[in-house]
Amino acid sequence: MSEQHIAIYPGSFDPITLGHLNIIKRASHIFDRLIVCIMVNSEKHGLFPPEERAELVRRATERFPNVEVDCSHELLSEYARRKGAHVVVKGLRAMSDFEKEFQMAHINRRLNPDLDTMFLTSSEKYTFLSSSVVKELGSYGADLSEFVPREIIGDIERKIRERQAGLGRA
Ligand code: ADP
């Protein structure tokens, strides 16, 4: 059997947006398997805890049979090695993303010479979109339907309301 081409799409996904989903859909057409991995950064406390973020990504990507969702505390270079993946997929929104991503791509290749980074340019519809923008808009009660997958809008609104009421601890 020929080797499967596996790619990792890493990020915070706090929460997943339509910009992320657009990259997932395109990358899933290029690779045999795409693993969307929530990279857990212990210094950063998000709106959602990592397992809940993963659950939202799972729900939003159910229709893509070759997409899996995972969480990891590992270094990306180690995680990719363990999964047998040779490609990291990244989305580029603007030049402002480029410098950091360029540096990360070099570091990852230094740590794991079998690992390449592939950049997909954001669809122009989503170049302005980030998880932070979604959280900011959500905190004002704005309509999120143009920014996040429809299946998860209720979860985001609920989490933001809990936060605002001082009940949620993410
Ligand atoms: P952010 O918190 O900035 O929204 P993440 O850390 O979750 O993003 O991002 C994971 C990956 O997805 C990164 O490669 C990032 O550049 C990419 N990405 C984020 N938003 C978009 C978008 N709107 N269009 C394309 N790629 C995106």
* pLDDT tens string 64-82: 999 999 999 999 999 999 9
Query: Which residue, among 88, 89, 14, 92, has the nearest Cα to 55 in the 3D structure?
Result: 14
List the catalytic residues: 20, 44, 93, 131
**pLDDT for 2:** 67
- Average pLDDT taken over every residue of the chain: 94
User: HSE of 50 in the Cβ direction (CA atoms, 13 Å)?
Assistant: 17
Question: Does 90 contact ligand 1 (Cβ within 6 A)?
Answer: yes
How far apart are the CA of 13 and the centre of ligand 1, in A?
8
Going by pLDDT thresholds of 50, 70 and 90, the confidence category of residue 1 is: low
The dihedral region occupied by 105, where left means phi > 0, alpha psi between -120 and 50, and beta the remainder, is alpha
pTM of the model: 0.92
Question: Does 12 contact ligand 1 (Cβ within 6 A)?
Answer: yes
